Structure formats: C-alpha cells, structure tokens
Amino acid sequence: MKKFFATLLVSFGCLSAAQANEAGFPLDTFPVEKMSDMASLQNGSKLFVNYCLNCHAAAYMRYNRMRDFGLTEDQIKKNLMFATDKVGDTMKVALDAKQAKEYFGAQPPDLSVIARSRAGPGGSGADYLYTYLRSYYRDETKPTGWNNLVYPNVAMPHVLWELQGQRTAKFVDEKDHHNPNLVIHKFEGYEQVTPGKLDEHAFNEAVGDLVAYLQWMGEPAQGKRAQIGVWVLLFLGVLTVFTWRLNASYWKDVK
C-alpha cells in the first residue's frame, strides 16, 4: 500500500514525468493571453493552493510574490496560506518531508518550475500541462481508475475530476495502411458519464488559469522582462536612426 501511494503522489508532481508525451498525442495551444490577465493568475493561484499544494511544495516561490498580480497581503493570508503564518515564507506543504518519506516511501516533487521543465519539441511546457490536465478519462483497468491520453498509463489520478466530471474515452481499432499486420488504437472522442461542477468551457478556462499560474511561478518576472524587452527594442530602433544620420553627417565631406 505504501508503494502504491508513493507512486500516486510522486506522479502527481503535476506532471513531472520526463517522457510523458511518448505517444505523440497532439498538444492543444495554451491561451497565452491569460499570462497578462490578473484575474486568471489570481484564480490559478487559488486552484494551485487547493488542488496541488496539499502534497507538493513550491519551494522557490514566496507567498508575497502574489502581490505581483494584484493580491494584497491580507488576501493572501486569509485565502491562500494554510501551512504557515508568514507571508514572506516559501510555499511549503504542511506534511513534513520526513513524514512524507516514512508514510509514502518518497517525497512528492516540487512544482516551482514544472511548466518550464515540460517544454519540448512538441510544444511549450504550458501547452503540455494545459492538454494533460484536460485529457483524463475513466479506465477501470488502472489502479487509480484513471488514464490519460497525453501520458498513457499515468499513475496520477484525476485530481480535478469533481470540476470536470467523469468521462470515458472511445477508441476504435484500425489496420495500418502501410502494415496490415499492425493494428492502431485510434482515439475517437469522450463520452461524459457524470457531470462536473463546471461545464466544458468553464473547466477549460479553469485549467487555463491554473496553467497560467504554474507558468508564471516558473519565472514571476517574465511579464516585466517582456515589457522591458519591448522598450529596449524601441530604444535601439531610435538609436539606430540617430547613429545612421550621425554617420552620414560625419562622412558627407569626405570624398
């Protein structure tokens, strides 16, 4: 039983498995506009605290950095802090690391830079997380009762199932055109079994908010960096014009 829970918790590293998209399932595009939406980041932080931070720390992130997207210290303390009383502390879990190792056989992985670590040739880390969290389906042949299209045979259960509801996946077997002896298990769609608290659109929006927060957490200053980058490019553009005119003026009398 300890080994089972260890596998379950470690896999929930939200997704820390290095070879998760081996099946080549196409990734959906993460709605990047959420990165500049303060309301999305605030909702994402709430989802993260309620669904991820119970077992997984974000040891490189301090609660007070959430002020960057509009939360006050009072709001952070009242709504998002459950394992500490100091707003300047890092986002640790209430479960002690030694106890976690004793109870589950392994310490759940940290999620501080999970979005950055999942970037690959198939898409960004945000694309991966956005698709992964929306690709769960019921599979009674698995120990947890869940499976995932992006990461087949995943040991992590669907932690957001109450929001999305329960659904099954429909597959058909087709012969490969190039190799008749090879049968392809082709995904055809989902079938909703029980409804969730959110409809499909609202659930996708919630997952987008959560992924936006995970992406932001990997580099809180990325928004500021992008703004500075735009001003630097504008400055260099103006400087280029002045430099070109100065060069023309300097050499105009030289034959």
Q: Which amino acid appears at position 119 of this protein?
A: A
- The whole-angstrom separation of Cα 93 and Cα 31 is 29
User: What's the number of CA atoms in the CB half-sphere (13 Å) around residue 231?
Assistant: 6
**For 201-245, how does the pLDDT look when each residue is reduced to its tens digit (9 = 90+)?**
999 999 999 999 999 999 998 878 888 999 999 999 999 999 999
pTM above 0.75, yes or no: yes
Nearest residue to 190 via CA among 143, 250, 135: 135
The 3-state DSSP class for residue 164 equals helix
Assess whether pLDDT exceeds 50 at residue 11. Answer: no
- The whole-angstrom separation of Cα 38 and Cα 134 is 22
**Per-residue pLDDT band at 23 (split at 50, 70, 90):** very low
Nearest residue to 35 via CA among 228, 231, 223: 223
Q: Comparing 95 with 252, which gets the higher pLDDT? A: 252
- The whole-angstrom separation of Cα 148 and Cα 124 is 19
Nearest residue to 29 via CA among 111, 168, 156, 134: 134
Q: Which residue has the tokens 């509009």?
A: 70
Q: Is 8 exposed, middle or buried (0-12, 13-18, 19+ CB in 10 A)?
A: middle
- The whole-angstrom separation of Cα 193 and Cα 205 is 21
- The whole-angstrom separation of Cα 251 and Cα 246 is 9
Could you give the percent of the chain with pLDDT greater than 90? 55
Its sign, for the CA torsion 149, 11, 112, 84, is: positive
Q: CA torsion angle for 129, 133, 139, 140 (degrees, to 10)?
A: 110
**For 26-63, how does the pLDDT look when each residue is reduced to its tens digit (9 = 90+)?**
999 999 999 999 999 999 999 999 999 887 889 999 99
Q: Which two tokens stand for residue 134?
A: 């929306």
**For 142-184, how does the pLDDT look when each residue is reduced to its tens digit (9 = 90+)?**
988 999 999 998 877 899 999 999 999 999 988 877 777 787 8
